[in-house]
Chains A and B, each alone.
Chain A
Amino acid sequence: MSNALAAADVVTQFVCRQGDRCLVLSHRLQQCITHAPQLEEELAIANIALDLLGQARSLYTYAAGRIGPDLTEDDLAFGRDADEFWPPALVEQPNTDFALVMGRQLLHDLWADELWRAMRSSTDPTLAAIAGKAAKETAYHLLHASTWVVTLGDSTPEAHDRMSAALTALWPFVDELFSTDDLVASVAALGVAPDPATLRRSWDARLDAILEDATLTRPTGQARPPTGRDRCSDDLRAVIDELHELHAQHPGARW
């Protein structure tokens, strides 16, 4: 599996990487199930997790089909070691409290909203179609996350402080979203996806407007230095191991 993906073209690898982002964030949200502050919010989080899982499935299905006719989405989701997943570190961050869950969602959804809207005009028609559907879902996710960040930020001193602390904790992982490596540069050159650096200006402006409503200020922490992909983080390995548990014990299990 890993060799097939490593040998695949840049578009396939990029699609798979986007699938990794959606799958890992979906799983982080699924870990909130039975831990949400109220039943209504639990349903909202589950809905968003399910949307992200659907996006991951579309992306993996497309990537698998490009690698070979015998591969499926499950091969990409369950047939790879944690080392072979490549999500941005932001979406790996553990659920320490509700403020962090919503802060992580806000920073991600704002970025994903910019990405999907730009990718609706991708030169790859399948990706453009996936982006069209995902853009609508993401607009709602963003609305929900920004509502909570504003609600918590402009609330009691404890809520304000915890929201502020969550954004500070997440801030070191923001720059990675807008960074470029060889793969990202290649797909940008093909017109398949935007150069993420071009999304930053709009992302910054929209985030500042939300933070102003929330009476919060933008964190000033330094970006985490890139670790390279020699080894995946413990957080990512924990997510992937949990995700793979059922499949490892019962290969090919179905509902």
Chain B
Amino acid sequence: MTVATSTDGELFEVFVRPRRGVSHIHAGSVHAASAALALQYGRDLFTRRLEGVSIWVVPASAVTASQPDDADGLFAPAEDKDFRYPGYYELPDGIENI
């Protein structure tokens, strides 16, 4: 058992699966003394109105995030690559859908 070292505890990111068959979606974050408590707080905060069928909590420190300054290098090049869109391709006669 990890000993909590501050009164607020660790920050956890909370992911809720809204219904069966779809992915977990980030809902928010909570402070908690342990992962088990983070799960309960996530339930209290983000599933009050039957929003979920499953919850994940992940220590925020375990999330590696992209930086806003890197956005040009990471995302902008996709704009020029029209071959990634279905509209780029001409359909042979007789084919209606890709």
In contact, B32 and A40 (Cβ under 8 angstroms): yes
Q: Which residue of B lies closest to A47 (CB)?
A: B44
Q: Tell whether A155 pairs with B7 under 8 Å between CB atoms, given A40-B44, A143-B40, A147-B36.
A: no
B residues within 8 A CB of A144? 40
Q: Tell whether A38 pairs with B31 under 8 Å between CB atoms, given A43-B45, A154-B1, A156-B3.
A: yes
In contact, B32 and A155 (Cβ under 8 angstroms): no
In contact, A151 and B44 (Cβ under 8 angstroms): no
A66: min CB distance to chain B, Å: 32
B13: min CB distance to chain A, Å: 14
- Give the secondary structure class of B's interface: mixed
Q: Tell whether A155 pairs with B41 under 8 Å between CB atoms, given A38-B9, A40-B30.
A: no
B residues within 8 A CB of A151? 1, 4, 33-34, 36-37
User: Which are the 8 A-B pairs with shortest beta-carbon distances?
Assistant: A40-B41, A154-B1, A40-B30, A147-B36, A44-B44, A43-B44, A47-B44, A144-B40
- In the complex, 24 of the A-B residue pairs with CB atoms within 8 angstroms, ordered by the A residue number, are A38-B7, A38-B8, A38-B31, A39-B31, A40-B31, A40-B37, A40-B41, A40-B45, A41-B41, A43-B41, A43-B44, A43-B45, A144-B40, A147-B34, A147-B37, A147-B40, A150-B1, A151-B4, A151-B33, A151-B34, A151-B36, A151-B37, A155-B1, A155-B3
Residues in B lying within 8 Å of A, measured CB to CB: 1, 3-4, 7-9, 30-34, 36-37, 40-41, 43-45
